[in-house]
Amino acid sequence: MPSRSALARLQQGTTLSIVFAALAWLVWRWQDSPAGAVGGAVFIAFSFSFVLAIEFTAMRVVGGGDPAPRPTWGELGRAWFSETIAALRVFAWRQPFRWREVPDQLAAPGEPARRGVVFLHGFVCNRGFWTPWMKELRARGHSFVAVNLEPVFGSIDDYVPIVERAVDAVTRATGMPPVLVCHSMGGLAARAWLCAAMGESRVDHVITIGSPHQGTWLAQFSHLRNGRQMKRQGEWLRRLERQETPAGTALFTCWYTNCDNIVFPASTATLPGADNRLVRGVAHVELAFHPQVMRDSLGLITRHAPR
């Protein structure tokens, strides 16, 4: 398990700054207007939710001609509310403060062989993202490694050695190729590793959740290296596609949603030749913890017998 996380330190600072600002406003305004003090503090604490609302609106406008079912305003409202709660759990708690809560688990010699898992998180995330998944696999006795993809704002190609070490560790512990479980940008890191390491025979299956396989509309506004690599019709993605084979893409199960506020239009999270599975009315972060996604993905992991 990684000993440090630059992303955790960054999000600790961000979270504590927001909490301090909200409390400072509350104390400053309380005597003049208790209602205004409370309202302002809530606005500061939940300002990110207004950004989410802008993302959902842009997603519905931009995705009008996409093959995926267009979300209703009711679906968008529910997805926005659920994503607000999910973002608090992930970005204000698990990743900054609890990212080491569940350590990696590798089978000891002589233990029963079960399929192992490598977890690859997305953009501006760390291994703490996967805490519910890791707890479930620990209870089931599966080996797993959850990485930190750093540098946080580096090239996706820089993550290939990190994926390589994790795959090697799980393979040696279990004696069989692992399943890769990836969220968002992590799916692109998996594809980059498969191409660089010729890893089709070294992995049993790849599960991606809301991964921008065909880029995302939002990436055109990014000035970060890995952000630019996720641009639709970008050179990095085109080069990756040229290197891939039908046998490689057939290894993928790709979960996507018509309410993804980060990867849109919705069908950009699909991969030609893969098993693409739509879940309606679920947002980007929430999708990774949706009961159907977790249940069916864990079923893919456990049903694959050693080969």
- Residue 58, C-beta contacts closer than 8 angstroms, at least 6 positions apart: 217, 218, 264
Crossing angle (nearest 10°) for helices 34-45 and 47-62: 50
Residue 42 scores a pLDDT above 60:
yes
Cα separation of 10 and 234, whole Å?
28
Tens digits of residue pLDDT in 185-238: 999 999 999 999 988 999 999 999 999 999 999 999 999 999 999 999 999 999
- pLDDT at res. 110: 65
234 and 177 in contact (C-beta within 8 Å)? no
What are the pLDDT digits (tens) for 268-289?
A: 999 999 999 999 999 999 999 9
Is the pLDDT at 3 greater than 90? The verdict is no
DSSP 8-class letter at 238: H
Where helices occur in the chain by DSSP H, the ranges are 6-29, 34-45, 47-62, 73-89, 95-97, 131-140, 160-174, 185-197, 225-228, 235-243, 246-249, 284-287, 291-303
What string of DSSP letters covers 185-200? HHHHHHHHHHHHHTGG
Q: CB neighbours of 201 closer than 8 A, spacing ≥ 6? A: 177
Calculate mean pLDDT across residues 85-93: 98
Residue 181: both structure tokens together: 């479980």
Confidence band (pLDDT; 50, 70, 90) for 69? Answer: very high
Q: What is the pLDDT of residue 109?
A: 65
Superfamily of domain 1-307: Alpha/Beta hydrolase fold, catalytic domain (3.40.50.1820)
The pLDDT of residue 64 is 83
Confidence grade of residue 307 (pLDDT, cut at 50, 70, 90): very low
Distance CA 191, CA 211 (A): 11
- Domain ranges for the chain: 1-307
Mean pLDDT (the chain) is 95
Q: Is pLDDT of 306 > 70?
A: no
Percent over 70 (pLDDT), the chain: 98
Among 119, 174, 147, 131, residue whose Cα is nearest residue 1: 147
> What Rg do the C-alpha atoms of the chain give, in angstroms?
20
Average pLDDT, integer, range 104-125: 89
Task: Give the pLDDT of residue 304.
Answer: 54
For residues 79-91, give the mean pLDDT. Answer: 98
For residue 206, give the 3-state DSSP assignment: strand
Indicate whether 170 pLDDT > 50: yes
- Rounded to an integer, what distance in angstroms lies between the CA atom of residue 171 and that of residue 152? 26
